[in-house]
Amino acid sequence: MKMLLLVVIYWTVTSFVASASTKQRIYYGEAELVQQLLTNPSQWMYVQENVDGFYVNFIEMDDILTVDELSDFFKLFKNKSAYYESDADPHHQPLEKDKTAIDVLHRVGWNITYTSQNYGWTVERDEILGYYNLTEHVRRRPDCVQLGPWTLSGNISNNAGTGPYSNAQYRAWINQTDGVSTDGPLGFWQINFQQVREGSYSAVQFAHRLGKSAAVMLCPYGAGVPTYNSTRDFLTVGISAIQGHEDNDADPDIWIIFEYADSSIPAVPEQINDYPANSTTGMAFYALKHRDGIPKTLDLYIDEGKVGQYVFVRESNSVDMTIHSNVPVGTARNYTLQVADYSSWLDYAAQIRAFAIGNPTSAWKISYTIDGVDITSDIGNTDGFVFVRKNRLQPKTIQSINISFFRTSTIVNNMTLIIELSPHRGSAVIDSLRILC
Ligand SMILES: *[C@@H]1O[C@H](CO)[C@@H](O)[C@H](O)[C@H]1NC(C)=O
Ligand SMILES: *[C@@H]1O[C@H](CO)[C@@H](O)[C@H](O)[C@H]1NC(C)=O
Ligand SMILES: *[C@@H]1O[C@H](CO)[C@@H](O)[C@H](O)[C@H]1NC(C)=O
Ligand SMILES: *[C@@H]1O[C@H](CO)[C@@H](O)[C@H](O)[C@H]1NC(C)=O
Ligand SMILES: *[C@@H]1O[C@H](CO)[C@@H](O)[C@H](O)[C@H]1NC(C)=O
Ligand SMILES: *[C@@H]1O[C@H](CO)[C@@H](O)[C@H](O)[C@H]1NC(C)=O
Ligand SMILES: *[C@@H]1O[C@H](CO)[C@@H](O)[C@H](O)[C@H]1NC(C)=O
Ligand SMILES: *[C@@H]1O[C@H](CO)[C@@H](O)[C@H](O)[C@H]1NC(C)=O
Ligand SMILES: *[C@@H]1O[C@H](CO)[C@@H](O)[C@H](O)[C@H]1NC(C)=O
Ligand SMILES: *[C@@H]1O[C@H](CO)[C@@H](O)[C@H](O)[C@H]1NC(C)=O
C-alpha cells in the first residue's frame, strides 16, 4: 500500500514539473518528396541532427515508404523517435495494418514516442496504438486526437463545429486520451479559412487546460479549397503561424512539420547561407533555431556598466555584480536588464526567470517591470516571463526590464540572485547573470 502511494505521488510530482516548462518537441516528415531527402542528405543535416523525431502517417507506411527507405531515414535521424499518425476509420485503415506498421517501425529500430488517430477516435485502435508490442519504456504510447481546426467553426470550447464530428465529441475524446494533434494546411492559415486560427489556438488551450499535450502541424497543402491552390510562401506563412500560436497563449508542446498532397514546396535545402530556405526542411530549420537559439545572438546584461554584455559562458559560481548591503532601510538600487537579439533574421519568444539561492530571507525586496507593467510574479515563476506579443525579441532589437532592489531590513543576509535567459520556454539556458545582494 505504502509503495503504491509513493509511486502515485512520484507520478504526480514528475508530471507537474514536466508540464511546467518542458522543452518543445519538433517532428519532421515528408510524404511526396521522400526521394529528395534521401538523395540529398547533405542538404538537411541540421534538421537530421536536431529534430526530436520522424513524423510518418499510415498512408506512407502502407503505400509509399519501403522498409529500406524507412531504414535510410532511421540512419539519417539522430533521434530515433517516430510519431505515427493513423486513422480511426477502419475503412481507411484496418486495425491489423496498424499492428503491421508498428512492427515495421520497430523492426527498423524506431521508438514510437507519439501516435494519433485522424477522423475520430476509437478505443479499439487506442489499444493497439497505446499498447501493441510496447517495447518503448513507457506506461503506454501517447495517442492523440487528430482534427482539422477549420472544422471547429471557431472555438472548440464554445462553438458547435462543422464535422465530421461535433466539438463536444472532440472535447470528450481529448479528455479521454493523451491530447490533441492537428492537421495544418498553411493555405488555410493564410486566408484564415473557416476561422482555422481560432480553431487551432483554442484546441491547444483546451488540451492544456486538461493537462494534455497539444501538437500542431504545419504543412504546405491547400486541401482542395477552390480559392486557394496551395501554400506558396510556405516559410513566411509558417513562421507567422508559429508566432500567432505563441502570441495567443497557444504555444504547443510539439510542432509537426510535415508535407502531404502538395509537392510544389521542395523538401531541401534547409538553409541558404544560414538563412532558412523556403522548403519543408527550411521550415523545420527555422523552428529549431527559434527554439534552441543561435549561439551568441541572445545577450542578457545590465545596462549600467554593461555588466555581462557579450559574456555568454562563464566560470560557474563567479558573480557578475554585488549590491552592497551597508545602506539604510528604504534605499532603492535600480538597474536596467537588457535582453538583446543580435541575429539579423531570427526572432525569439525568449523566456527569462529569476530565483535566489543561498539565504532565503533577503533584506532586499526585488521587483521587475517591463514598459511599466509589473512582471515580478511571472519572472519568479517556473514558466518565467516570455517575450511575446509586443515584447517579442525581434532581430537586431533590445528589450529592457527594470529591476529594483529595495532595502527592507538592516540585517545582512547575503543571497545570490540568478537570472536566466532561454531562447524559448523550456529550452536550455544560454545566458545568465549572478548578482550577490
Ligand atoms: C529524442 O526525442 C524525444 C522526444 O521526441 C526525447 O524524449 C528524447 O530525449 C530525445 N533523445 C535524445 C537522445 O535526444
Ligand atoms: C514485438 O516485436 C519484436 C520485434 O519485432 C518481436 O520480436 C516480438 O515478438 C514482438 N512481441 C509481440 C508480443 O508481438
Ligand atoms: C528506445 O527507447 C529506449 C528507452 O525508452 C532506449 O533504451 C533505446 O535506446 C531507444 N532506442 C533507440 C534506437 O533510440
Ligand atoms: C474529463 O473527464 C473527467 C472524468 O474522467 C470529468 O470529470 C471531467 O469533467 C472531464 N472534463 C471535461 C472538460 O470534459
Ligand atoms: C476559447 O474559449 C475559451 C472558453 O471560453 C476561452 O478561454 C479561450 O480564450 C478561447 N480561445 C480563443 C482562441 O478564442
Ligand atoms: C489556381 O490555379 C489555377 C491554375 O493554375 C489558376 O488559374 C488560378 O488563378 C489559381 N487560383 C488562385 C487563387 O491562385
Ligand atoms: C516559396 O516557394 C514557392 C514554390 O516554389 C514559391 O511559389 C514561392 O514564391 C516561394 N516564396 C518565397 C517567399 O520565396
Ligand atoms: C556579504 O556580502 C558582502 C558584500 O555585500 C561581503 O562583504 C560579505 O563578506 C558577505 N558575507 C558573507 C557571509 O558572505
Ligand atoms: C526604467 O528605467 C529607466 C532608466 O533606468 C527609467 O528612465 C524608466 O523610467 C524606468 N521605467 C519604469 C517603467 O520604471
Ligand atoms: C526605482 O524603481 C522603483 C520600482 O520600480 C520605483 O518605485 C522608484 O521610483 C525607482 N527609483 C528611482 C530613483 O528611479
Q: Which atom of ligand 4 is nearest to the CA of 206?
A: 13
SS3 category, 307:
strand
To test the pocket of ligand 9, the residue of 333, 336, 400, 404 to mutate (highest count of ligand atoms within 8 Å of its CB) is: 336
Q: Is ligand 5 within 6 A of the CB of residue 202?
A: yes
Which of 320, 323, 324, 325 maximizes ligand 8 atoms within 8 Å of its Cβ, making it the mutation to test the pocket?
325
Answer for the pair 378, 385: CB distance below 8 angstroms, yes or no: yes
Q: How far apart are CA 213 and CA 210, in angstroms?
A: 9
Q: How many C-beta atoms surround the C-beta of residue 18 within 10 A? A: 12
178 alpha-carbon distance from chain centroid:
17
User: 347: which DSSP letter?
Assistant: -
Per-residue DSSP letters for 149-204? GGGSSS-TTTS---SSS-HHHHHHHHHHSSEEEE--BHHHHHHTGGGHHHHHHHHH
Query: Which atom number of ligand 2 is nearest to the Cα of residue 107?
Result: 5
How many whole angstroms from 230 Cα to the centroid of ligand 6? Answer: 9
pLDDT at 6 exceeding the cut of 50: no
Q: Which ligand is nearest to the CA of 26?
A: 1
Can you tell me which atom of ligand 6 is nearest the CA of 229? Answer: 1
* 213-258 pLDDT, tens digit each: 999 999 998 877 777 777 789 999 999 999 999 999 999 999 999 9
Report helix, strand or coil for 6: helix
What pLDDT is attached to residue 412?
A: 75
Quick check: bond before 164 cis, omega within 30?
A: yes
106 lines ligand 2 (CB under 6 A): yes
Closest ligand 1 atom, residue 113 Cα: 5
CATH topology assigned to domain 22-292: TIM Barrel (3.20.20)
Give the Å distances, CA to CA, from 422 to 19, 390, 425.
17, 18, 7
- Residue with CA closest to ligand 4 atom 13: 175
pLDDT in tens, 155-209: 999 999 998 999 999 999 999 999 999 999 999 999 999 999 999 999 999 999 9
Does the structure show a pLDDT above 50 at 12?
Answer: no
What confidence tier does 410 reach under pLDDT thresholds 50, 70, 90? confident
Which residues on neighbouring strands pair with residue 405, listed in sequence order?
333, 366
pLDDT of residue 78 exceeding 50: yes
Q: Which CATH topology does 298-436 take?
A: Immunoglobulin-like (2.60.40)
* Residue 108: predicted pLDDT: 98
User: Is 89 close to ligand 3, i.e. is its CB under 6 Å away?
Assistant: no
- Residue-level pLDDT at 236: 95
For ligand 3, say whether the CB of 106 is within 6 Å of any of its atoms. Answer: no
| DSSP code of residue 241 | H
Measured from CB, residues less than 6 Å from any atom of ligand 9 are 334, 336, 369, 372, 402
Nearest-ligand number for the alpha carbon of 154: 5
Ligand 4, atom nearest to 210 Cα:
13
**Nearest ligand atom owner, CA of 401:** 9
pLDDT grade, residue 4 (50/70/90)? very low
Condensed to tens digits (0 to 9), the pLDDT of residues 101-145 reads 999 999 999 999 999 999 999 999 999 999 999 999 999 999 999
Which residue's alpha carbon is nearest to atom 3 within ligand 5?
A: 157
The per-residue pLDDT for range 276-323, each reduced to its tens digit, is 999 999 999 999 999 999 999 999 999 999 999 999 877 777 899 999
The answer, yes or no, to whether any atom of ligand 8 lies below 6 A from the CB of 322, is: yes
> With a 6 A CB cut-off, is 157 part of the ligand 4 pocket?
no
Q: How far apart are CA 127 and CA 96, in angstroms?
A: 12
pLDDT, one tens digit per residue, over 92-108 is 999 999 999 999 999 99
* CA 397 – CA 230 distance, rounded (Å): 34
The residue whose CA has the least distance to atom 12 of ligand 1 is 79
Q: Which atom of ligand 1 is nearest to the CA of 80?
A: 1
- 100: amino acid identity, one letter: T
Task: Report how far ligand 3's centroid is from the alpha carbon of 80 (Å).
Answer: 8
335 SS3 class = strand
User: What average pLDDT does range 396-400 have in this prediction?
Assistant: 98
Collapsed DSSP state (helix, strand, coil) of residue 271:
strand
Say yes or no to pLDDT of 353 above 60: yes
Instruction: Provide the mean pLDDT of the chain.
Output: 92
Please tell me if the CB atom of residue 205 comes closer than 6 angstroms to any atom of ligand 5.
yes
From the CA of 190, which ligand is nearest?
6
Task: Band the pLDDT of 360: cuts 50, 70, 90.
Answer: low
- Residue bearing the CA closest to ligand 4, atom 8: 175
Q: Dmax of the chain from CA atoms?
A: 78
Task: Please state the pTM of the whole predicted model.
Answer: 0.92
274 lines ligand 2 (CB under 6 A): no
Q: Where are the domains of the chain?
A: 22-292, 298-436
Question: Are the CB atoms for 272 and 226 separated by under 8 Å?
Answer: no
